[in-house]
Structure formats: structure tokens, C-alpha cells
Amino acid sequence: MQLYNSLTRTKEEFIPHEAGKVSMYTCGPTVYHFAHIGNLRTYIMEDILDRYLRYTGYDVTRVMNITDVGHLTSDADTGEDKMLKGAKREKKTVMEIAQFYTDKFFEDCKALNIRRPEVVEPATSCIDEFIRVIESLMEKGYAYEAGGNIYFDTSKLRQYYVFHNFEEEDLAVGVRDGVEADSNKRNKADFVLWFTKSKFDDQELKWNSPWGVGYPGWHIECSCISMKHLGEHLDIHCGGIDNAFPHHTNEIAQSEAFLGHKWCNYWFHVLHLNTNSGKMSKSKGEFLTVSLLTEKGYDPMVYRFFCLQSHYRKSLVFSWENMDNARLAYDKLIARIASLKAEGEIDQTAFDEQKAAFMRVLDNDLNTSLAVTAIYDVLKAKTNDATKLALLADFDRVLCLNLIENAEKKNAQKEEEKASSDDPLVKEIEELIVARREAKAAKNYAEADRIRAYLAEKGVTLVDTKEGTTWRIEANA
């Protein structure tokens, strides 16, 4: 499989460290609020990568952290503690907030068919691990103490800016955003590994450390949790593109300083979801969550379908109009699949041919938009329905769009509607509802009442609503 590697800025043949096995690390959510659908786009695309690697036969182990401590509103080690901010807003403890939003995050993932990684580790359960690694960095001369905090010394590295699209000027952006310069830092790019002095005296969660009571920096979390579960060699590290700098840059700095060798071979970054006014964020514009999509009547699968229609290395523009188009296309697709009849023998030649075409596009840097096209190619293919259904079920092991389930649901619904319209009682009720409406329109209320009473005797209750009259059969009739 060819995979784009942000570290080398080229598409490379993916070769895992250990044959047949893949270790994959995903930066998890900061659990102080709901995830917005922009974050979830990243998790959907990472999920496709995870599932595709499994589909092609790899034994994948995936690890995700949960940031439940020490993540500041600015990545430059300053700003407010997001967790504490959430706790204050909702008048809960930090741990209550963390549990609540962790559960919500996985509910959203489930609704979007995003697999839960094998290991999900909250930062607060790994404090000893962080301290051990920071101690070692101190011993090796990569870290120093200043003003009560422990900093990573970026000048000790041969190369700090490993992602070439991010240079030192990017740090200045943080400064422009009102971030205070930290005079304890020896170099502008240095970052905090352990805080004992922070701007918030009321930081709720603190731990003992060799440097005093405090809490870990954000970046150390991912390095330690990854190494704890996946060892010294990581195959793929995933995340949103906004994490490449400084978060992933700092992860590489501290992990490789600690290990003394290269840590992660492939960096998989997903581009932003934008709105017409720019990058989607929690603070800007409408707060778009999975629950909001559901409230507005969109099946979460429509959002997954929408995301798959574009490549992960392109930014994607969200609008309600785009969602409506995606819904229309998804419903049409399900209707076409629902019309297939599971009859006949599977045509193995046609099956292999279509499957190879599907794999060819995903092997090319996970081209999901062409993988969606492959679904339509199957529907158009000159082969029988049984083969088509088998292929779609097979593709859906990767795409996870509930293609077969929703088609079956649609057919069951049709059956139900047909069964009830064949029922003579239903026919009579429907006709009488029309007659009653006409009677009412002609101000013949006696007739309208007679119809209602006649049906009531048969145990049928009419319910008048703004949209018209519906009916139900009383259970004890």
C-alpha cells in the first residue's frame, strides 16, 4: 500500500516494522466538551485506514489517549486549562467532566461506525510513566528545570522542525494570539514537560514528582502512552493536521531523545473540515455535533458518506446544502441496493475483478472518494445481483456505511407498508378518513361524527394533527 508520509512529504510503500503487524497511535480527544464533526472527520478517516489495514490482512493494534489533564487552550504551553474551564462551566469536578465527555465521544464514534481502539488510556492513569520518561530526559541532558517547571531543550536536537511545512515563524502566530512569552525558556521552541508553577493556582489535579507537586504537559502524554503499549517502534501515528506542529513535532523530539533512535515511521495527517467562513472550531459559528446532525434528521451515516467522498489530504467544506446532497445520494444508493435480489451463484471472476479495483484505489494513499465510486461500478457491472451484494458487503467491511443493513431495513419497511395496504380494514379506514375530511369540508359535521363513531366501534381511534388525520387500533379493542 502506498501511503503519504507527512514526515517525508512523499507517498511511500507502507512497510511495517514487524511483518504482518501494524502498530498505530491516534491522538485522542481532550474531554472537556463535545467533539465537533470537524474532529470526527479525522477519526473517520483514521478509522478507514485502520479497517483497510485489517482488510488486507494486517494484525493491527491501535492505541488512543484521552487527554483529561494539562491540555491548555494554547499549544504553546500557555492559556487556560481546558479541563478546568469545562468543569467551571458545568459546575462539576474535572474527573466528572472527563468521564462524561469520554462517554459522549465514544457514543459519537459508535454512531459513525468508528471502531474503538484496542487500548484507550486516559493521561491521568499514566503519571508514573510520564515522570519516568521526564527523569530520563533530565539525565540525558535533554531537559532542564527553570522557574519551577521542567522544559524540553530543543537546542539539543540536530533537527527540531521535522515537518517541513512548519517553521519557526509558526510559533510567532501563538505570540500574536496573545500568548505570553515564557521567560523561563532557553529557546523559543522549548516546551513544558512538567508544570509545578502555572497560571492557575486552582489546578484541580496534581501529583507528586521529583520536581515538586504538579502536572504533566500535554505532549509527553502521547509519547509515553504510545511507547507503553506499542513499544519503541511505532508504525503509524495519526492525527489532525493542526497537531503536526507543535504537538507531533514535540512528541518526536522527546520520544527520540528518550529512545536514542527513530520512533515513528509514518505520519498520517487529516486535513481540516472547513465552513464557508474558515476552519471549523468549537468557538466559531454553529457548534456542529453528531447530536445536532441527528436532531436535524440526518442519519450519521450520511456524514460518514460525505467525508468518504473526499480525500483525507484535502480540506473539506461543510454546509447544510452539502449535507442535503450527500443525503440524497446516500438514500438513492440504498434504494438501488435494496432493489437487488440475493439470487444466483456468486460469479467469482467478476467478484475478484471488482474487489481488485476497489483495493487498487485504497492502496493508492487511501483514495476513499474512488472507493465510493467503486460501489457504483459494482451496481453497474454486468454480473448477477448475488455477486453485487457479496461485493458490497465486502467493501462495507472497510467503508462501514451500513449499506446492506440499511437496504434490508428499507425492504422490511416496504414489506410492512405493503402488508398494511393489503389489509381490507386498513383500506376501509383510509377511505373513511378521506370521506370524513370531505364531509368536514362541506360542513356536514353529523356525517364526520358518524364516521368517527363507526370507526371507534371497531376499535379505531382517529387522531387529527396539523399534517392530517392518522389512526391507531386500540390494544384492548
Which spans of this chain sit near Zn ion (rule: CB under 5 A)? 27, 222
CB of residue 222 to Zn ion, shortest distance in Å: 3
Report the b/e string of 151-186 with b at 16+ CB within 10 A: bbbbebbeebbbbeebeeebbeebeeeebeebebbe
* Contact predicate 275/317, CB 8 Å: yes
CB of residue 65 to Zn ion, shortest distance in Å: 6
Would you say 149 or 243 has its CB closer to Zn ion? Answer: 243
Would you say 249 or 354 has its CB closer to Zn ion? Answer: 249
Q: How many Cβ atoms sit within 10 Å of the Cβ of residue 113?
A: 17
CB of residue 24 to Zn ion, shortest distance in Å: 13
Grid cell locating 151:
522544559
Spatial CA neighbour of 160 closest among 251, 221, 231? 251
Would you say 241 or 359 has its CB closer to Zn ion? Answer: 241
Q: How many Cβ atoms sit within 10 Å of the Cβ of residue 187?
A: 14
CB of residue 180 to Zn ion, shortest distance in Å: 24
CA distance 214 to 191: 16
Pairing of strands 273-275, 316-317: parallel
CB of residue 378 to Zn ion, shortest distance in Å: 38
Instruction: Map 287-339 to HEC letters.
Output: CCCHHHHHHCCCCHHHHHHHHHCCCCCCCEECCHHHHHHHHHHHHHHHHHHHC
Would you say 174 or 300 has its CB closer to Zn ion? Answer: 174
CB of residue 53 to Zn ion, shortest distance in Å: 20
Would you say 98 or 308 has its CB closer to Zn ion? Answer: 98
- Per the listing, cell 407498508 goes with 417
CB of residue 191 to Zn ion, shortest distance in Å: 13
Q: What are phi and psi of 62, to 5 degrees?
A: -120, 135
Q: How many Cβ atoms sit within 10 Å of the Cβ of residue 275?
A: 17
CB of residue 46 to Zn ion, shortest distance in Å: 12
Beta strands of 104-206 (E only): which ranges? 119-122, 143-146, 149-152, 191-195
CA distance 453 to 299: 40
Contacts of 269 (CB under 8 A, 6+ apart): 6, 238, 239, 240, 241, 243, 244, 313
Spatial CA neighbour of 239 closest among 71, 398, 6, 74? 6
Would you say 60 or 63 has its CB closer to Zn ion? Answer: 63
Q: What are phi and psi of 212, to 5 degrees?
A: 110, 175
CB of residue 239 to Zn ion, shortest distance in Å: 6
Kindly compute the dihedral angle of the four CA atoms of residues 251, 253, 254, 259, in this order, to the nearest 10 degrees: 110
Spatial CA neighbour of 74 closest among 168, 169, 199? 199
Would you say 40 or 222 has its CB closer to Zn ion? Answer: 222
Would you say 222 or 288 has its CB closer to Zn ion? Answer: 222
For residue 236, the surrounding DSSP H or E stretch is strand 234-240
CB of residue 231 to Zn ion, shortest distance in Å: 17
Would you say 45 or 301 has its CB closer to Zn ion? Answer: 45
CB of residue 26 to Zn ion, shortest distance in Å: 8
Would you say 3 or 27 has its CB closer to Zn ion? Answer: 27
CB of residue 247 to Zn ion, shortest distance in Å: 6
- CA 476 remoteness from chain centre: 47
CA distance 389 to 368: 20
Would you say 37 or 224 has its CB closer to Zn ion? Answer: 224
Would you say 27 or 40 has its CB closer to Zn ion? Answer: 27
